[in-house]
Amino acid sequence: MTMRAVCISDTHGQHRSLKMPKGDLLIHAGDVTSRGSLQEVQEFLGWFSRQSHPYKLFIAGNHDFYFEQATAQKIAHLIPQNVIYLNDSGVEIAGINFWGSPVTPWFYDWAFNRDRGPDMKRHWDLIPQNIDVLVTHGPPFGILDATIHGRKVGCEELRMRLDTLRPRVHVFGHIHEAAGKCQHQGTTFVNASVLDQRYQLLHPPAVLDL
């Protein structure tokens, strides 16, 4: 059975402005808020839980400070029953294995920042070998990760891990201006950022069949 996934990322509180396509699964790849406050998180989760997609899955991003600072118990209490939240963790949906992680290479003083090298690798080593769909906030190095100035800023350790895992799909965001889709070594890569580098709504949700 084909599962239609609708993918978004980096809404930064502008989720209500989206025209959401129908599908079986809604994936948000992080930066659900602008400043990471509890109020922003609650507003997003209310909207997200009301979407018509039977399955709804999201991770946090570097703007989403609440998810890094709050206890696991507080976060679990906050997540609606029909929403799946992943944080270096996985879930199986209709026979498809998903894994999600919010970490990104260090940039200023944002949430879920880790130093490049061993600190990043430690997170990617947690991803199981049988993964079908990987959801991270940041991109792998060299794939839909170029800034407006052409600098590639994706994670090198993630790229090396993907060369081994080769999942069917990898969904991410973080680098707004690199939004789009591409294929590499049998994996479909989706930068699902919906805002441009000026934080203006530009890109529609990405749709793909799993």
60-109: per-residue pLDDT in tens? 999 999 999 999 999 999 999 999 999 999 999 999 999 999 999 998 88
Note the pTM of the prediction, 2 decimals: 0.98
List pLDDT tens digits, range 18-76: 999 999 999 999 999 999 999 999 999 999 999 999 999 999 999 999 999 999 999 99
- The stretch 133-149 carries a mean pLDDT of 97
| Nearby residues of 68 by Cβ (< 8 Å), 6 or more positions away | 60, 102, 111, 112
pLDDT band at 151 (very low <50, low <70, confident <90, very high): very high
Q: What is the pLDDT of residue 109?
A: 86
Residue 50 structure tokens: 């009301």
Rounded Cα gap, residues 72 and 1, in angstroms: 34
For position 108, what pLDDT does the model report?
82
As given in the structure block, the two tokens for residue 139 are 């991109």
CA–CA separation, 22 and 157 (whole Å): 34
- Locate the DSSP E strands across the chain: 4-8, 25-28, 55-58, 84-85, 89-93, 96-101, 104-105, 113-114, 133-136, 169-172, 180-184, 187-191, 206-209
User: Looking at residue 64, what is its pLDDT?
Assistant: 98
pLDDT: which is higher, 127 or 109: 127
- CA distances to 100, 133, 168 from 127, in Å: 9, 11, 14
The pLDDT, as a whole number, for residue 177 is: 97
